[in-house]
Amino acid sequence: MRAMAIREYAAPLELMDLPIPEVKPGSVLIRILTCGVCYSDLKTAHGKMPFSPTLKLPHVPGHEICGEVVEANPQTGFRAGERVIVYNYWSCGRCAMCRMGMENLCESLNAWVGFTDPGGFEEYLAVPADRLLRLPAGITPEQAAPISCALGTSYRAVVTRGQVRPGQTVVVQGVGGLGLSALQVAHASGARVLGVDIDPRHLEVSMKLGAAESALAGDAARVMVRDFTSGIGADVVIDTVGHEDSLHEAATMARRGGRVIGIGYVVGGFARVQTDDYVLREIEFSGSRYVQRYELERAISLLASGRVQNVIDDVLPLERANEALERLSAGKVVGRTVLRVCA
């Protein structure tokens, strides 16, 4: 099968011919239709992930996978031809976190698809049946690809960790791929949403997707939030940036007792937080990691209902994965680039 693989860090991916994976009992063979290209694929290709020093190369990246069932044992509950997306944390089910019901925090994943294990930049994947979610009719493979990562992660950050309620004011700091999803989930939750970014093109798109207002990061954003909330500040700020000062920036836009949810990070990076923000202003700072399967199912329902959409910048054939990564690296992508793997 065709695959685009990392053979060397910070070098272009290479087209390889790999064997079709073996299907173990309880697993389902899927033909990959589309795969989203995410910023973490870029970090993986550049050796900038926590596991990079020990990752065996060549490695096939890609974790935003939509596929079609090729063959499945009837006991798996799947039939050939069904369209699915892949939940890419294959948690162990045995560790303390799994026993507490927190599969997104599993301490010994059986596989982390596209990160430490082969991903979606290839034609076939064997997936445990319980890691597949059915795709409702009407969602195209192109729309479906970014569900498992961008939309799922945003859903958990906004609904579960952020506990966003109708009528609240939510600021999304960084309205790129992930942020545009977070903005729409917050909007669908009944919140009034404000978009903040350093790129005016992202702000423009955020306005089309339900932002009440948007502003460039910095003074303009602080003034917007202050005026919009009559000086109170936002109930929840979702930070997709994860740079050294972004939590501090987020806190300046949050109200007293508000919540800052971080979904952007840099491996080994630190975030500065002002002590009086979390003590005297009682701001809660929380991280949010990926998504649980039940949350992902709800995110899929939101997409199926048309209340959120995945913003697709471009659709390219698998062989042009490098072009997709370069465009992402150059900050040229608005929303997601999707690779068409099997036409």
Q: Give the interface segment with Zn ion, choosing from 83-91, 157-165, 219-227, 284-292 (CB under 5 A).
A: 83-91
Closest Cα partner for 320 from 37, 49, 71, 116? Answer: 37
Amino acid letter for position 56: K
The whole-angstrom separation of Cα 22 and Cα 35 is 21
CA atoms within 13 Å, Cβ hemisphere of 241: 23
The strand pair at 169-173 and 234-239 is best described as parallel
Q: Least distance (Å) from Zn ion to the CB of residue 86?
A: 12
In the complex, the smallest distance separating the C-beta of residue 64 from Zn ion, rounded to whole angstroms, is 5
Q: Nearer to Zn ion by C-beta: 38 or 209?
A: 38
Residue 42 interacts with Zn ion (CB under 5 A)? no
Angle ∠(271,274,275) on CA atoms, nearest 5: 120
Among 29, 37, 106, 334, binds Zn ion (CB under 5 A): 106
**Minimum distance from CB of 338 to Zn ion (Å)?**
12
- Nearer to Zn ion among residue 92 and residue 129 (C-beta): 92
Nearest to 64, CA basis, from 286, 290, 217, 288: 290
Q: Does 98 bind Zn ion (CB under 5 A)?
A: yes
Is there binding between residue 49 and Zn ion (CB under 5 A)? no
Nearer to Zn ion, 207 or 315 (CB): 315
Cα gap 156→333, rounded to integer Å: 24
149 interacts with Zn ion by CB under 5 A:
yes
Under rule CB under 5 A, residue 38 binds Zn ion = yes
Q: Does 102 help bind Zn ion (rule: CB under 5 A)?
A: no
C-alpha pair distances (Å), 227 with each of 187, 224, 314:
19, 5, 36
Minimum CB–partner distance for residue 53 and Zn ion (Å): 21
**CA triple 237-150-17, angle to 5 deg:** 155
Number of residues in contact with Zn ion under rule CB under 5 A: 7
Q: Report the nearest approach of Zn ion to the CB of residue 152 (Å).
A: 9
16 binds Zn ion, rule: CB under 5 A: no
Query: Is residue 92 a contact point for Zn ion (CB under 5 A)?
Result: yes
Which of these ranges, 142-150, 278-286, 308-316, 330-338, lies near Zn ion under the rule CB under 5 A?
Answer: 142-150
Q: Which C-beta is closer to Zn ion: that of 26 or that of 257?
A: 26
Residue whose entry in the numeric block shows the structure tokens 């939590």: 247
User: Residue 71: beta bridge partners?
Assistant: 29
**What is the nearest approach in angstroms of Zn ion to the Cβ of residue 125?**
16
Note whether 63 and 115 are within 8 A (CB). yes
User: Which residue in the block uniquely carries the two structure tokens 């069932």?
Assistant: 69
Q: Which residues contact Zn ion (rule: CB under 5 A)?
A: 38, 91-92, 95, 98, 106, 149
